[in-house]
Each structure stands twice: as C-alpha cells, then as structure tokens.
Amino acid sequence: MELRRAAAQFQSTRPRNRTAPTAMAPQIKKGDAEVMLDASELLRPEPTYTTKPVAQYRDFSVDPTDPIKERVRLLYLDMHTHQTYDFVKSRHDKWLKFDHFKGTIMDVLNRLSESGLTDQSDPDVDIPNVYHGFQTAEGIRREHPDKEWFQLTGLIHDIGKIMALYDEPQWAVLGDTFVVGCEWGPSIVYRDTSFHNNPDGKHPIYSTKNGIYKPHCGLENVIMSWGHDEYLYQVLKHNKAKLPEEALYMIRFHSFYPWHAGGDYMHLCNEKDKKMMEWVLEFNKYDLYTKSDEDLPDMNQLTSYYQGLVDKYIPGELEW
C-alpha cells in the first residue's frame, strides 16, 4: 500500500528529520489502581524517550494569546456543551448500523493520510494524525517485539477518526472521553468552566454520582461520550476482529483520561477494569510520549510489515 500523496507532500515541506529515538522506556510502577492520579507523573520515561520534557505533555492551561491552546479549549467547550446522554444515543443510532462504507484497515489509513486530518483537541502535535498511529506502533514494536497484536493496536487506535470525513464535528470525534448518564468526573479537563450549558448537569438522575448505573457495574456496561474510541471498538466487535480483549480495552478507553490518569469513576469499575487498567496504562506510554512533530516515520517503508499484521488479526473488508 502506498500511504499516499498528502503525507508525502506534508513530509516534503519539512526540514530533514532527526533519527527517531530508540531508547527503551522505563517500566511502569504498578500500584493500586484507585490511587493512580496522573499518567504523566506515573509513567515518566527517560529523557531520551521523548522529544520534550514529560511535564509539557497534555498542557491544558488557558492562554487566549496561544492559538493552539485556544483551539483546544474551544473544542472542549463545544464537546462538554453538546455531549449529552441523548446526543450519544443519537450517535449510536447513526453509526452503529455500520452502513457508511466498506473498507479494509489500510483503506481507512489511506483515506486519513490523504485527508491530512489533524487532531484539533491535541495540544502536543499539529501534524496529520495518521503519523501518530505509526509513531505509537513503532514505539510498541521496539519494546514489545513479541506482541504483534499490541503493535497493531498502536497503529489503528485512532482510525475511528474517519468519522470526521463524514461531517461529524471534531468535538464528537476527538479528545478525552467521559461517562454520560452520571455525574462528570472531577479531573475532566476544563471541568469547572465548560459544562455550564450542558443540560445533563441539571438532570435529576444524570447529575448524580451513580446516575443510571449500579455501583461497580463495570466499564463494559457504561455509556461513554461519543468519539473515535467507542466507534472503532464497536466496529472491531461488529466485524469479529481477532484481537485479544486487552487490545479492545486499550482502544475503547485510551482517551478515558479521567479514569486511567485521574482516578475518577472507580465507583463504577469492577475487578476486571482494575486489572485491565494496567494494559491501558502500558498503552498510554506509547500513545502519549511517542508524539512528535519532528521524528516522522516513513509510512510507506513500514506498510508491508503492518499489512501482515492486519491480514492476521483484522483481514478483509470491514463494515463501517
């Protein structure tokens, strides 16, 4: 597969890249999931593993003079205004019929490459998002060469963003996710300034701690805000992908930072969720800290390797 013109044109306008870092990331210090607070504190890689200090990742500070920070803030304002329980159910009705198109995993990567889609919710990078999938996959491949399913998960984890090419607004595709139908978690970014016009905050049930859920019901039984995580998870289940359950957890919850980084929603988790959080945190190391505007992978050179993994775990055309 040729990951085509748009990516090549973007690459040709950039200065010559440095060699990508190859240092091994440190091991996660695993502890009681209920006391895990901040992924950037818990998962500190060695300085050579990232292209900037880890404390500078996920900087959601407000600065109206900074165009990227303001772009991110406004996107979350839209998200937190419009992502209601009823809105999410409407997206289920729209997208979970899987009748938008048929295509292979590589077809979707090609389309995202050609579109040049950038993630307007991300304060860390401002390049076509398709690069990030390869950066994540290659980071995993260096340190988990025996886990092909994990590498493939890194490659595809964001391709649910294909919804943005079907007129879905970015606030319904990108960014951190949260549970709808209950009280919003306290560690959600811009939590205190962005939900004022969301009607669920005044709902007699949705505004309570447990909302529509039973305590410790398990994350498999909650309704997440709508975005690329949930969509791709549902696509893979519908098409009977051969990925293990750990991969599906990573895909469904990798943007659920209020849970895996903030420690929120533990009252809804069961023991399985707490065990699976270790895999989500391991994935987060690569999802977050391999991001770079400069060390861009040669996607065409890598395609044949990842095509083999696609053929093994998610072959053929899928219904999207």
Q: Give the three-state DSSP class for 258.
A: helix
> Per the annotation, does 38 bind a ligand?
no
> Per the annotation, does 255 bind a ligand?
yes
CA 16 to centroid of chain Cα atoms: 28
Nearest Cα residue to 88 out of 180, 160, 178: 180
> Per the annotation, does 254 bind a ligand?
yes
Tokens 């809804």, located at residue: 268
Q: Tell me how far apart the alpha carbons of residues 287 and 296 are, in angstroms, rounded to a whole number.
A: 15
**Sign of CA pseudo-dihedral 235, 140, 269, 197:** negative
> Per the annotation, does 229 bind a ligand?
no
> Per the annotation, does 158 bind a ligand?
yes
Q: Which amino acid is at 218?
A: G
> Per the annotation, does 161 bind a ligand?
yes
> Per the annotation, does 228 bind a ligand?
yes
One DSSP character per residue, 252-316 reads HHTT-HHHHTT-TTGGG--HHHHHHHHHHHHHHHHHHHT--SS----HHHHHHHHHHHHHHHS-S
Burial class (CB in 10 A: 0-12, 13-18, 19+), 278: middle
> Per the annotation, does 187 bind a ligand?
no
Token readout for 145 is 């060469």
Q: Tell me how far apart the alpha carbons of residues 274 and 278 are, in angstroms, rounded to a whole number.
A: 7
> Per the annotation, does 311 bind a ligand?
no
Burial class (CB in 10 A: 0-12, 13-18, 19+), 9: exposed
> Per the annotation, does 120 bind a ligand?
yes
Annotated binding site for substrate: 58, 119-121, 161, 175-176, 254-255
Binding-site residue set: 58, 119-121, 132, 157-158, 161, 175-176, 228, 254-255, 287
Query: Per the annotation, where are the binding residues for Fe cation?
Result: 132, 157-158, 228, 254, 287
